[in-house]
Amino acid sequence: MRVKYPEGITNAKDKTEVLYRMQELLRQEYNEYGEKFRNEEITKEEWHQYLKEYETKDLAIVSEILSQREIMKNNKNLNVTLKDNLVE
């Protein structure tokens, strides 16, 4: 599984925002399935199947977040220094 970005999303900042939104949507989906399982609306087998799907989705999102993080960490185009930007 891989992340497909919406059209027009090309830079690391925007991609990271999309990824965190996807992560939140996945958390909400997880909670919905958990509630269905607790309310016996889905079977134990369906719950375990969902958990496998969840793990696959979560791994794809987290891997991409880490990839975008590396891109942003190495961005030397920003005028940032510890002296100027870390203050007491």
- What is the token pair recorded at 5? 């970005």
The answer to the question of residue 31 being in a domain is yes
Q: What local confidence, expressed as pLDDT, does residue 78 receive?
A: 82
Q: What is the pTM of this model?
A: 0.85
The answer to the question of residue 81 being in a domain is no
The answer to the question of residue 3 being in a domain is no
Tell the residue number behind the tokens 């979560």, with chain if given: 58
Cβ pair 42, 33 in contact under 8 A:
yes
Q: H/E element holding 31?
A: helix 12-38
Q: What is the pLDDT of residues 32-44, one digit of tens each?
A: 999 999 999 999 9
Q: What is the pLDDT of residues 8-64, one digit of tens each?
A: 999 999 999 999 999 999 999 999 999 999 999 999 999 999 999 999 999 999 999
The answer to the question of residue 40 being in a domain is yes
The answer to the question of residue 7 being in a domain is no
The answer to the question of residue 16 being in a domain is yes
Q: Which domain holds residue 21?
A: 12-72
Burial of 68 (0-12, 13-18, 19+ CB in 10 A): buried
Cβ pair 26, 35 in contact under 8 A:
no
The answer to the question of residue 79 being in a domain is no
Q: What local confidence, expressed as pLDDT, does residue 48 receive?
A: 98
Tell the residue number behind the tokens 């990824």, with chain if given: 19
Domain count for the chain = 1
The answer to the question of residue 33 being in a domain is yes
